[in-house]
A = this chain, B = another copy of it.
């Protein structure tokens, strides 16, 4: 075999497309550290997220084209790496955060915080750097779900300003009003007070570098939601619902809010929670306690990606209550959440490649 050139390898690899971004790996600039030698090729494929569900597919397609063009005898080494994409640059607030993802539901109690916790842990375990802002000022669940209800965030001075240091648990950085007030006390505040707490969590908290910052929104479509979109440009929003009609009605309201022309936050997709219950004694029975396929039909109706469904499993609630997100254990639930985390990361990458920057909403909306 003659000497291999880098150009030949790149030509070969340009036959492999990223199935999501629908362009080839070379055009997308995803081939890094290419080195060639005598019957030896090595390079890295830099994916748009460590949680990429297509990682193994892309690797094997690269192998296929290289072996086809240079023969099976070539010594091939492919490193799959990632560099999470972002459309945020030179942002005045949260400059080190690549993507801000709002998790909303319209209706409360559909498992938004459970989904947020499990998504965050799943993304962190895939290798991403992840944070959560618990924006549910009146019903903060994140401290319970991460088993750190009694932690207190530190305060440090930075550039002459006091900033909050998030709690770190299971590899995820966290901030919540729950860390700052006694658990049994009600925070009885009108909107502006709640909004100023959120602004502190965004502007006066030491987030550092993050691939994904998840915002666990409260139910409804009011002050906190408006303050969020008026304070930082949100990369995309995820809507969580159960299949129940009254939950879907409120999910529709949340969806419509993000779609309002003056708000205009891309919706990354829909997650259906509490899809069905399966008792251990009747493993083939699915009880659709809250109705069937509501989330999927909702996604179809709105032409939004359906990111996955989570069964109603006693252990998910028990995990939440005991402070260990269910995704940390093996099993059907962990699989569901890992799949959804991959789907969310995938949608973020596609959104970043295809759509314009989100704009901060004008304050006089």
* Interface residues in chain A, defined as those with a beta carbon under 8 Å from any beta carbon in chain B: 106-110, 113, 137-139, 141, 144-145, 183-192, 194, 218-223, 225-226, 242, 244-247, 249-250, 252-254, 256-257, 260, 263, 277, 279, 281-282, 285, 287-291, 312, 314, 317-318, 320-321
Which residue of B223, B281, B290, B318 is within 8 Å of A282 (Cβ)? B281
Q: Is the CB of B312 within 8 A of A138?
A: no
With A219-B108, A244-B317, A282-B282 in contact, do A253 and B138 touch (Cβ < 8 Å)?
yes
**Neighbour of A106 across the interface among B139, B189, B225, B253, CB < 8 A:** B139
The reply to whether B247 and A109 contact each other, CB–CB distance below 8 Å, is: yes
Minimum CB–CB distance from A314 to chain B (whole Å) comes to 6
Nearest to A280 among chain B residues (CB) is: B287
Beta-carbon contact of A285 and B290 below 8 Å: no
Residues on B with C-beta less than 8 A from A188 are 221-222, 225-226, 257, 260, 263
Partner of A219, one of B138, B288, B291, B312: B138
Contacts of A314 in B (CB 8 A): 287-289
CA distance A263 to B188 in the complex (A): 10
Which B-chain residue is minimally distant from A182 (CB atoms)? B256
Residues of B within 8 A of A191 (CB): 190-192, 222-223
Instruction: Establish whether residues A289 and B317, one from each chain, have CB atoms under 8 Å apart when the complex forms.
Output: yes
| Contacting pair B289 A277 (CB below 8 A) | yes
Residues of chain B within 8 A (CB-CB) of A318 are 291
Contact call B279/A285, Cβ cutoff below 8 A: yes
CA distance A225 to B220 in the complex (A): 14
Are the CB atoms of A219 and B218 closer together than 8 Å?
A: yes
Contact between chains at A279 and B287 (CB < 8 Å)? yes
6 nearest A-B residue pairs (beta carbon):
A109-B109, A108-B108, A138-B220, A191-B191, A245-B321, A186-B257
19 further A-B contacts with Cβ under 8 Å, apart from A189-B221, A279-B279, are: A107-B109, A108-B110, A109-B247, A138-B219, A138-B221, A139-B220, A141-B246, A186-B257, A187-B253, A188-B260, A191-B222, A218-B219, A218-B220, A244-B317, A246-B320, A277-B289, A279-B287, A281-B285, A289-B314
A279 contact set on B, CB distance < 8 A: 279, 282, 285, 287
C-alpha gap A312/B288 in the complex (Å): 12
Chain B, residue nearest A244 (CB):
B317
Asked if B281 and A250 sit within 8 Å, CB to CB, the answer is no
